[in-house]
Amino acid sequence: MAGPNGDPHVLGGGAGDDGDEGEDTFEEEEYAAINSMLDQINSCLDHLEEKNDHLHICLKELLESNRQTRLEFQQQSKQLNTGADVQGSQPPA
């Protein structure tokens, strides 16, 4: 819709309105706040990634330790079974 002079009506004022400067400042403050939030999120994500990497390393070490322990138990079990078989096949003294 046109204004009283036939110019189109623009929300937020015309070209000579001082409201634009206030809006620019507001937008800059908004962008600065969003930037700050994104920096904080990025920092948190970096921290989580470091924790995740550390946990991954710890879990791999635990897995390897459990594999070694299981192999040792299997070997001991075989030795005990082999020793019992040899004693069981000999006649009592």
Q: Is residue 12 part of a domain?
A: no
Q: Is residue 87 part of a domain?
A: no
How many distinct structural domains can be found in the chain? 1
pLDDT band of residue 88 (cuts 50, 70, 90) is: low
Cα 74 to Cα 61: distance, rounded to the nearest angstrom: 20
Residue 12 near residue 19, CB atoms below 8 Å = yes
Average pLDDT over residues 81-91: 69
Q: What is the pLDDT of residue 10?
A: 44
Quote the Cα angle for 59-49-68, to 5°.
10
11 or 41, higher pLDDT: 41
What would the pLDDT profile of 17-72 be if each residue is shown by its tens digit?
555 667 788 899 999 999 999 999 999 999 999 999 999 999 999 999 999 999 99
Q: Is residue 11 part of a domain?
A: no
Q: Which residue range(s) make up the domain with 71?
A: 32-79
pLDDT surpassing 50 at residue 11: no
Q: Is residue 53 part of a domain?
A: yes
